[in-house]
Amino acid sequence: MAAAIFATEVIDATRIWFDQQGWHATRMWKVKGLDNTQGHKRLYDAQEVPGIPNLYSPHPDPRLAIVASKIDVESAGSGSSCNVVVSYDPIGVLPPSVVSETANPGAPGGGSISIRSGLRRVQTNKDENGKMVILRHKDSFYPDNVPVGANNEEAIHLKGELIEQPAVYEKFIHVDIIGFVRREPRHPRSKQDRYLGHVDPAQVFRGDPSRAWLCTILNGESPDGGQTYNVTYEFERAVDLDPQTRQLVSGWDPVVSFYDSQKGQFLAKPGTVLVNERDRHNVPIIGQRTIRYLPEADFSELNLFAGLSLPGTGSFP
């Protein structure tokens, strides 16, 4: 193409309108100086002139939340000039041929994002300093001595001592919920088994502990008879503050305590040695354990979190 080719936007031809799908717009450029003698090549050259928006590029006014969805080029009555009309539409009405599962939120075709917060109930038997909360029953005493060791030289408890039992109570932890809706070229059935009900072993966002995010929703709805699907993802972030280390830990991994079914109580002191009545040998009991029952999956493979930052993610309320 010749160096003299240039494009001028025709401001008077600009148009915007609103309907149930959202905002729409058209913009027009007058391209002059084209020298290609073949009609279709001249028209193709016109839409490549610098200044003409590329397909799927955002509208200059971000309030409209629309992208370039169509480019029309027609001759302006002269062999060296053309009119280029660019149409803008909401992301949700882009044609199926450009729908992708790899578009990140915030990019053209990347879908929408919602963020909300709440509280989640969890059970604990520790106080704010990480010590087990022990209750002593005023009217309940041990009726007999319970010896331990081969020679019965020690006792777990003595007759007449107050019965101790950890207090299990509910507390609230902070939960952040992120939702994504993205138009994709296939149904999400294969993703449901792979991600739904899974936690991410990595730090999804800086400052988060491992296993902090859980995939709780993964649904799909087709607006065009199965050609494409509006896929909804939802993830919940649950974190707790370890009172001893003062570090954030996953709120999805419960800490359980040993429960003595014969006494009908939780083990008061983790590491207490109980006697095996059959062979009279000491049996160490592990008092507490963190249960990581939720399976893991790499959420980065969904191309949803890349480039997304959450202010204050590493903080604790």
pLDDT digits (tens, 9 = 90+) for 218-234: 999 887 778 788 899 99
Pick the most confident of 73-77, 191-195, 242-246: 191-195
Question: CA separation (Å) from 271 to 159, 263, 283?
Answer: 21, 17, 10
Judge contact between 8 and 46, C-beta under 8 A: no
What is the pTM assigned to this prediction?
0.56
Query: Residue 290 above 60 pLDDT?
Result: yes
Lowest mean pLDDT among 66-80, 93-107, 191-205: 93-107
Tell me the average pLDDT across 33-44: 75
Question: Taking CA 128 as the corner, what is the angle to CA 124 and CA 132, rounded to the nearest 5 degrees?
Answer: 55
Task: Identify the band that residue 55 occupies on the pLDDT scale cut at 50, 70 and 90.
Answer: confident
Lowest mean pLDDT among 2-6, 41-45, 96-100, 267-271: 267-271
Query: Residue 288 above 70 pLDDT?
Result: no
Helix residue ranges, H only, the chain:
39-47, 189-195
Tell me the average pLDDT across 55-81: 83
Q: What is the C-alpha separation between 172 and 129, in angstroms, rounded?
A: 16
Tell me the average pLDDT across 257-269: 52
What percent of the chain lies above the pLDDT cut of 70? Answer: 74
Query: Residue 261 above 50 pLDDT?
Result: no
Query: Residue 276 above 80 pLDDT?
Result: no
Surface-to-core class of residue 12, CB atoms within 10 Å of its CB (0-12 exposed, 13-18 middle, 19+ buried): exposed
Residue range 304-313, pLDDT digits in tens: 876 676 644 4
| Ramachandran bin of 74, using left for φ above 0, alpha for ψ from -120 to 50, beta for the remaining angles | beta
Q: What average pLDDT does the structure give for the chain?
A: 77
Question: What is the pLDDT at residue 43?
Answer: 83
Question: What is the pLDDT at residue 48?
Answer: 84
Question: What is the pLDDT at residue 37?
Answer: 60
Please, what's the b/e burial string for 276-309 (b: 16 or more CB within 10 A of its CB; e: otherwise)?
eeeeeeeeeeebbeeeeeeeebebeebbbbeeee
DSSP classification of residue 310: -
Under 8 Å CB-to-CB from 86, ≥6 apart: which residues?
26, 27, 28, 29, 52, 53, 68, 70, 71, 72
Query: Residue 196 above 90 pLDDT?
Result: yes
What percent of the chain lies above the pLDDT cut of 90? Answer: 16
Residue 110 vs residue 211, higher pLDDT: 211
Lowest mean pLDDT among 1-5, 101-105, 123-127, 138-142: 1-5
Q: What is the C-alpha separation between 307 and 175, in angstroms, rounded?
A: 21
Q: What is the C-alpha separation between 193 and 189, in angstroms, rounded?
A: 7
